[in-house]
Amino acid sequence: MSEPRDNLGQDEDLELQALQRQLDDAFETTRPRHGFEDELWLRMQSSRPARSRLRDAWAGFWQGIRAVPAVPAAAVAVGLVVVIGVVLVGYSGLLHSGGSTATSAGGGFQGPQSNQYAGDFGRLPAPVVAGQKTGGATSASAPASAGDYVGPAQLTWTGHLDLAFTVAPVFRYHEPSTNTADQFASALGAPLHGRPEGFLGMYETSDYTLKVRGTVQSPPSSPAYFIFSNLSMPAVEAAGAGPADLASVFLAEHGLVPQWDYTTAVDSSGDPVKVFYQREFNLPGGTTAYLVNMNGDRYGIEVDLSNNRPVLVSGMLPVSMDRANYQIVSSDQAVRAALGGSQPVPVTGTPAPAVQLTQAELVYVLVPAGDHSFYEPAFMFSGTVKINGSTLTKRVLVPAVDPSQRTP
Amino acid sequence: MADRLPFEDLYRGYLGRIYAYVRAQVGTSADAEDITAQVFMNAYQAYPRFEARNTTPAAWLFRIARNATLDHFRAHGRRERLRRTIEHQPAAEEDPAGQAEERIQYQALLAHVAQLPERQRDAISLRHSGLSFEEVGKLMRCSEDAAKMLYHRAVKALRESVRRMEET
């Protein structure tokens, strides 16, 4: 009597073992569809937290875009409305406290520690300040539409700026040539169509026109590429994907995913929706600093999407860079330099409004210098002011490299 | 930090297993993709706080996957899940590569797993995703022996479910 039960038990065991093997195989062979792994990885990369949203556009790209009639009107309009008041404090400001009503945080002034650290690039050129004074004296009663204040101001500092390092890297790149541009286009599969004035090359495919530009001296703008879509440019297909995902997929498909660190930001307030890849530079201690243009706006790559279709992609042309460390000014020196941009003396009889600078961060700015150009650290101070009932933002950029490391 | 893998290595190494685990829970590839994406998004955010000395990366990831799957069920309800599972029996599964008979058979098996009671389903999925009974027990808040018993009961229940399907 027991034998049949044993047989039954053995059969059951065998059946269960077979089922377990099937389960092993089922779990072993069940995998996501092809492409899912890379898509998700891109989504994860693009979901890195954005510290803040960019303003409407990159003023740095404005000059390049202005030269191209075919630029979508929306992109041009966005470029036009960006008027941000930045006082780029000159060199002399670093060494004088200026006539502000300030109460600067921190201790007393510490003189520059000259020649303690000589960078490998030799003395560096100072950031270009030409053109920055324009808004300073003329627009006190005409606030910029982008929510930023461009006029003169009496600056005070109530924030806290405490740097944990005294040396920061400076990056240098060689001015890209037509050969550089051709290689970039070739990697995209875009044949040369011509070399219009102001560009290293123009290239065309069935889906888009590519233009590549070198460094622009004024306003300082990084070497860049612009992809202008033709009507045949297909929409990016990715079910359920948001704009940042779509932009990442497009960049990945074209081998344009940035090789540098970045933060993604999305401006979906209008059409086209804009996806920004804000470039970051690594600093000592594992921190990072954003690359900003002369208006204080972060930049890197921008993908404009209309109905999931990329209509304009503009980004930094990849260039190889050297790196060298330079002594930077102290926090106190930076604050004093920022406050040195105060203009307490009324120009037209109306006192300049008081602006309380409350925040400061280390950023990087482009310093064009001919054959070689540099990305140099700078301090960006910001605060708000009420003008005619509107709260506006005031930004002040201060070069960070120690004056002793600069060309006179 | 020195003994910590780059997150991308973790991601590439475990994506398939996590997906299979989730897929067996929810019964459809679309839901499995959504949940798997959420799992790794959460893991990516949390990885800086991951302590390798407290748990293995596998156990850590499967814990996140388990929570994400439970969240999914809480959000959609079991009835909805069953309806979708039934609607997505093997023939309806939109898998362009899933033409092979064997693969369809495996998907059918996973569909049966997805219809088991929650703890049985979980035990089978975790065990066949490569976790030890000790790890399964920790994740399910029970002893290793209890996890073994639960698993064996689950396999028997699965066999009954498959039998019933074959008889009809």
User: Confidence class of residue B5 from pLDDT cuts 50, 70 and 90?
Assistant: confident
Q: Provide CB contacts within 8 A for B86, sequence distance 6+.
A: none
- Residue B2 is assigned to a structural domain of this protein: no
What pLDDT is stored for residue A34 in this prediction?
75
What pLDDT is stored for residue A21 in this prediction?
86
- Residue B22 is assigned to a structural domain of this protein: yes
What pLDDT is stored for residue A348 in this prediction?
55
Residue bearing tokens 């685990």: B21
- Residue B1 is assigned to a structural domain of this protein: no
Please name the amino acid found at residue A199: F
What pLDDT is stored for residue A117 in this prediction?
42
Q: Is the ipTM of this structure higher than 0.85? A: no
Quick one: chain A helix, strand, coil %, rounded to 5? 25, 30, 45
Chain-centroid distance of CA A13 in Å reads 64
What are the per-10-residue average pLDDT scores of chain A (408 residues)?
A: 51 82 86 81 65 34 36 36 36 30 27 42 74 32 53 87 86 92 91 90 92 90 93 84 90 89 91 93 85 90 92 93 89 88 57 87 92 92 85 88 85
User: What's the whole-number average pLDDT of chain B?
Assistant: 80
Partner residue facing B110 (CB), from A16, A26, A41: A26
CB distance B125–A20 less than 8 Å?
Answer: no
- Residue B130 is assigned to a structural domain of this protein: yes
What pLDDT is stored for residue A48 in this prediction?
58
Instruction: Give the best residue of B7, B8, B15 to mutate against chain A (max A CB count within 10 A).
Output: B15
Give the domain extent around B104.
Answer: 7-167
What pLDDT is stored for residue A26 in this prediction?
86
Going by the DSSP 8-state scheme, the letter that residue B80 receives in this structure is H
What pLDDT is stored for residue A317 in this prediction?
95
Handedness of CA A224, A228, A233, A235 (dihedral sign): positive
H or E, element range at B26:
helix B7-26
A325 backbone dihedrals φ, ψ, rounded to 5°: -90, 140
| Structural contact between residues B52 and B4, judged by C-beta atoms closer than 8 angstroms | yes
Interface residues from chain B to A (CB-CB < 8 Å): 8, 11-12, 15-17, 19-21, 23-24, 29, 32-34, 36-37, 40-41, 44, 95-97, 103, 105-107, 109-110, 113, 124-125, 128-129, 155-156, 158-159, 162
Please name the amino acid found at residue A100: S
Please name the amino acid found at residue A169: P
Q: Is any Cβ of chain B less than 8 angstroms from the Cβ of A13?
A: no
What pLDDT is stored for residue B24 in this prediction?
87
What pLDDT is stored for residue A88 in this prediction?
40
- Residue B143 is assigned to a structural domain of this protein: yes
CA B21 to chain A, closest CA, distance in angstroms equals 7
- B96 contacts in A (CB within 8 Å)? 33
Total domains, chain B: 1
What pLDDT is stored for residue A370 in this prediction?
84
Give the CATH number for residue B163.
Answer: 1.20.140
Q: Provide CB contacts within 8 A for A152, sequence distance 6+.
A: A136, A137, A140, A343, A347, A352
The residue among B69, B106, B72 whose CA lies nearest residue A22 is B106
CB distance A40–B37 less than 8 Å?
Answer: yes
What pLDDT is stored for residue A131 in this prediction?
38
Instruction: Give the best residue of B128, B156, B159 to mutate against chain A (max A CB count within 10 A).
Output: B128
What pLDDT is stored for residue A166 in this prediction?
86
* Half-sphere CA count of B22, side-chain side, radius 13 A: 34
User: Confidence class of residue B36 from pLDDT cuts 50, 70 and 90?
Assistant: very high
Instruction: Give the best residue of A23, A24, A29, A48 to mutate against chain B (max B CB count within 10 A).
Output: A23
What pLDDT is stored for residue A279 in this prediction?
95
Which of the two residues, B101 and A140, has the higher pLDDT score? B101
What pLDDT is stored for residue A46 in this prediction?
64
Which of the two residues, A10 and B162, has the higher pLDDT score? B162
- B155 contacts in A (CB within 8 Å)? 16, 19-20, 23
Please name the amino acid found at residue A276: F
Residue of B nearest to A20 (CA): B155
- A19 contacts in B (CB within 8 Å)? 155, 158-159, 162
